[in-house]
Structure formats: C-alpha cells, structure tokens
Amino acid sequence: MLRKLIISIVLLTVSFSFAQTSTIRVGQTFTVDYPNSFVRTYDLNESASLQMINLALGKFSIIIQDEKASLDHFKIKFGNLEEALDFYIKNLVASMEEGSTKKSGLKTLKINNYNTIEMELEGALKDEETSELSKIFYHFSIVETPNYYYQILSWSNQENKSKYIEEFRKIAGSFKEVN
C-alpha cells in the first residue's frame, strides 16, 4: 500500500512538472513558452537568439531570427513560406547521412496571427568522434512577421518522437512577437 502511494506521488509530481511552463522573453523581439524542465544554454547554434535544452531527457530547441532587411541585403527574397522553409532546411538535410532523411508533408497554420509553415524531418547524424549514427527527429516551424523570419527548431531521438512531438508543437505555438 505504501509503495503504491509513493509511486502515485512520484508519477503525479513528474507529470505536474512537465505541465509547468515559463515564458522566456528574448530582448524586445519575442516570447515563447518552454516547459520548466528546459534550461537555457549557449552552445547549440551560434546563430540562435534562444537555445534551450533538457539534457536529461535529450530534448533540444533553438530559435533563429532573420531580419528581412538583412536578407534583402544579401539578395535573398522568398516568394512564400515554402521557399523560406526549403532555404532554411537545406543545411540541416545536408548534415544527415545520405538516404536517411524522411520529410513529413508541409502544414500551413497561423501562430498568433502570423503565417507559419511547419514540417517534421527524420534522419541519421554521424558522430564525428565515434562515427556512431544517431537517429533524430526535428519539428521545424518558420514564422513570418512583418520584419522577421523566425525558425523554431526542436529535436530529440526518433524513438522519443511520439512522446515529445506535441510538446514541440506547443513550444512553437506559444511564440509571440513583442512590439
């Protein structure tokens, strides 16, 4: 009886902690909600405005913002969000083992009234030190605001996809530009 009570308390505590979120504000540009189990980090991607990690559970997330005026300077102009997604995802696909990638269909939606496109990507990455392959899945969203394109990228091991995909969608769905 005592054992069942302890197990119930532990399970309740664990499920409650996953439900708790905090709003993270990045400068004067955007906010996004992350589960409290994530912590800020600074070594996932040097271009990211925000980098979050839950190392214990192997979950990672970054947000990269590109100012449209800066893209114009480099003669990069997207006709639509699908073109933007193709542009942004090509380096990620190129980093995966040849023949290992699988892309989901594209989904268009609105996140806080901003046009958004999302997709899922699966593939294998080779560890440069050990040459071991890791099967990874990514949830990738591009949010277009009047002045920026935001890339919201969350990932984990493929075996955890069914556990984490909804959480990754909620993270992307919580995005708000701050004016």
Residue 8 maps to a domain: no
Predicted local confidence at residue 3, as pLDDT? 54
Q: Which among 65, 68, 40, 70 is positioned nearest to 55, based on CA atoms?
A: 40
Q: Considering only 23-27, 29-33, 50-54, 138-142, which range has the smallest mean pLDDT?
A: 23-27
Residue 5 maps to a domain: no
pLDDT band, residue 8 (cuts 50/70/90): very low
Residue 131 maps to a domain: yes
Q: Helix H segments across the chain?
A: 2-19, 68-73, 81-94, 161-173
Residue 38 maps to a domain: yes
Q: What does the pLDDT average to over 25-46?
A: 93
Name beta bridge partners: 30. Answer: 26, 177
Residue 2 maps to a domain: no
Q: Considering only 27-31, 115-119, 174-178, which range has the smallest mean pLDDT?
A: 27-31
Q: In which domain, by residue range, is 129 found?
A: 21-177
Residue 83 maps to a domain: yes
Q: Which CATH number belongs to the domain containing residue 165 in this structure?
A: 3.40.1000.10
Predicted local confidence at residue 19, as pLDDT? 62
Residue 74 maps to a domain: yes
As for how many domains the chain has, the answer is: 1
The HSE-up count of residue 172 (CA atoms within 13 Å, CB side) is 32
Residue 49 maps to a domain: yes
Give tens-digit pLDDT for 55-91. Answer: 999 999 999 999 999 998 899 999 999 999 999 999 8
Distances (CA, A) of 155 to 19, 28, 52, 158: 19, 26, 11, 9
